[in-house]
């Protein structure tokens, strides 16, 4: 193999709370020769996700932790394994990506295979653990980036989290937070397709308009304009909330529980309010939880990579093809744009799935 240069991203400082672009730095390395079983991948698209920041920064001072689905699937999460993941990613930051195989010393992969998996925030990644990779069944009618969003983690998170965790029924009242985000917008759309009444919240006027006009939400509001979330939800849900799909945690979760109907269900998908401020704790009223028999369920998309969800792809592909599901992608270009994309995610700048295109398909 010829000597190849590789641009990759690293961080210059311990990140606690809101990330800044100045905390990132682009470095260049010479790629080492491939060893047995290695797969060299050229990154085409990288997914930008909010769950990179460590919960306990003091335990991860030198780098960003990243709990990617494929990692968790192979290593059920526990305290010891955080350390393992840390060591693994110490050399670079990683995330879900789509790429093309450039060279392979692994029998399972050959040149020009299109793969999805755990790739570095870099032009090239040498994948040593093939369990973090899978070959894609690409469909020429759709862009490859869809495999990071609607056909990938975001889609399956929304589908499994909504249908499997929330067990929705037609006509139920559904509330989605971060509803213009990569997962939230799909939850709302799946819920509408099932026949639920759906209200979402988001952080800009533009997003609120989009939810109502483009995605067919029954209503939506800008939470930044509301001082009292509890009474806001009471006004938007005079008949109570049956399902809350929680992407944010914090006060919104408390307010949703206070406005929940008996036998309400909360799918806890993300806690972005906690990622950037671990002081922001949730104090749900447990009296409500008991008397209203509320179920609060955390989940990870990695649990959905099973046969139980084999209808996800055909159903979703059909919906996209027929135009019933609207695909919201927010794509930046070039490895240099990753820091700004990542920062923007925590400031709610993205509309739908945030992706950085690293190279042309």
Choose which of 88, 299, 309, 346 interacts with a copy of itself (CB under 8 A): 299
CB 225 within 8 A of CB 249: no
Q: Which residues, numbered 31-60, are part of the site for a copy of itself (CB under 8 A)?
A: 55
The yes or no reply on residue 251 touching a copy of itself (CB under 8 A) is no
Using CA of residue 155, residue 157, residue 163, residue 169, what is the dihedral sign? negative
How far, CA to CA in Å, does 198 sit from each of 50, 161, 171?
24, 15, 9
Choose which of 14, 204, 276, 297 interacts with a copy of itself (CB under 8 A): 297
The yes or no reply on residue 262 touching a copy of itself (CB under 8 A) is yes
CA distance 361 to 340: 22
Choose which of 26, 34, 136, 282 interacts with a copy of itself (CB under 8 A): 282
What region does 357 belong to: left with phi over 0, alpha with psi -120 to 50, or beta?
beta
The yes or no reply on residue 295 touching a copy of itself (CB under 8 A) is yes
The yes or no reply on residue 137 touching a copy of itself (CB under 8 A) is no
Smallest distance from a copy of itself to CB 83, Å? 14
Smallest distance from a copy of itself to CB 51, Å? 9
CA distance 134 to 26: 27
The yes or no reply on residue 294 touching a copy of itself (CB under 8 A) is yes
The yes or no reply on residue 89 touching a copy of itself (CB under 8 A) is no
Length of the chain: 361
Choose which of 16, 219, 303, 349 interacts with a copy of itself (CB under 8 A): 303
Choose which of 298, 308, 321, 333 interacts with a copy of itself (CB under 8 A): 298
303's CB contacts (< 8 A; 6+ apart) are 160
The yes or no reply on residue 296 touching a copy of itself (CB under 8 A) is yes
The yes or no reply on residue 291 touching a copy of itself (CB under 8 A) is yes
Q: What single DSSP character describes residue 352? A: B
Angle among Cα 155, 275, 186 to the nearest 5 degrees reads 20
In the complex with a copy of itself, the residue whose CB is nearer, 18 or 281, is 281
In the complex with a copy of itself, the residue whose CB is nearer, 108 or 262, is 262
The yes or no reply on residue 78 touching a copy of itself (CB under 8 A) is yes
CA atoms within 13 A on the CB side of 315: 14
The yes or no reply on residue 281 touching a copy of itself (CB under 8 A) is yes
CA distance 108 to 14: 37
Choose which of 26, 284, 336, 340 interacts with a copy of itself (CB under 8 A): 284
CB 24 within 8 A of CB 339: yes
Chain residues that interact with a copy of itself, rule: CB under 8 A: 55, 67, 72, 76-78, 240, 249, 253, 261-262, 268-271, 274, 281-284, 286-300, 303
């Amino acid at each position: 193999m010829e000597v190849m240069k590789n641009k990759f991203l690293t961080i210059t400082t311990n990140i606690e709370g809101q990330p800044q672009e100045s905390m990132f730095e682009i470095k260049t390395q010479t790629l080492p020769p491939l060893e047995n079983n290695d797969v060299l991948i050229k990154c085409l698209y990288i997914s930008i996700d909010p769950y990179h920041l460590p919960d306990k920064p003091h335990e991860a001072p030198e780098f960003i932790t990243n709990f990617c689905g494929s990692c968790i699937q192979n290593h059920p999460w526990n305290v010891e394994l955080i350390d393992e993941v840390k060591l693994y990613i110490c050399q670079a930051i990683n995330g879900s990506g789509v790429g093309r195989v450039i060279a392979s010393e692994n029998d399972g992969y050959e040149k020009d295979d299109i793969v999805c998996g755990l790739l570095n925030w870099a032009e090239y990644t040498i994948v040593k653990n093939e369990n973090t990779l899978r070959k894609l069944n690409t469909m020429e009618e759709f862009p490859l980036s869809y495999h990071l969003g609607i056909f990938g983690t975001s889609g399956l998170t929304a589908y499994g989290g909504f249908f499997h965790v929330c067990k929705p029924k037609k006509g139920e009242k559904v509330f989605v937070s971060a509803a213009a985000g990569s997962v939230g917008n799909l939850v709302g759309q799946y819920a509408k397709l099932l026949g639920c009444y759906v209200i979402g919240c988001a952080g800009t006027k533009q997003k609120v308009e989009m939810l109502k006009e483009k995605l067919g939400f029954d209503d939506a509001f800008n939470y930044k304009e509301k001082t009292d979330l509890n009474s806001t939800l009471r006004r938007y849900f005079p008949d109570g909330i049956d399902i809350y799909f929680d992407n944010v945690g914090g006060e919104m979760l408390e307010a949703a529980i206070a406005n929940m109907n008996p036998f309400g269900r909360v799918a806890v998908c993300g806690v972005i309010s906690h990622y950037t401020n671990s002081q922001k704790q949730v104090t749900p009223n447990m009296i409500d939880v008991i008397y209203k028999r509320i179920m609060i369920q955390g989940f990870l998309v990695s649990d959905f990579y099973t046969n139980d969800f084999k209808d996800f792809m055909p159903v979703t592909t059909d919906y996209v093809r027929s135009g019933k599901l609207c695909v919201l992608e927010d794509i930046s270009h070039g490895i240099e744009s990753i820091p700004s994309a990542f920062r923007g995610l925590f400031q709610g700048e993205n509309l739908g799935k945030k992706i950085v295109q690293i190279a042309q398909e």
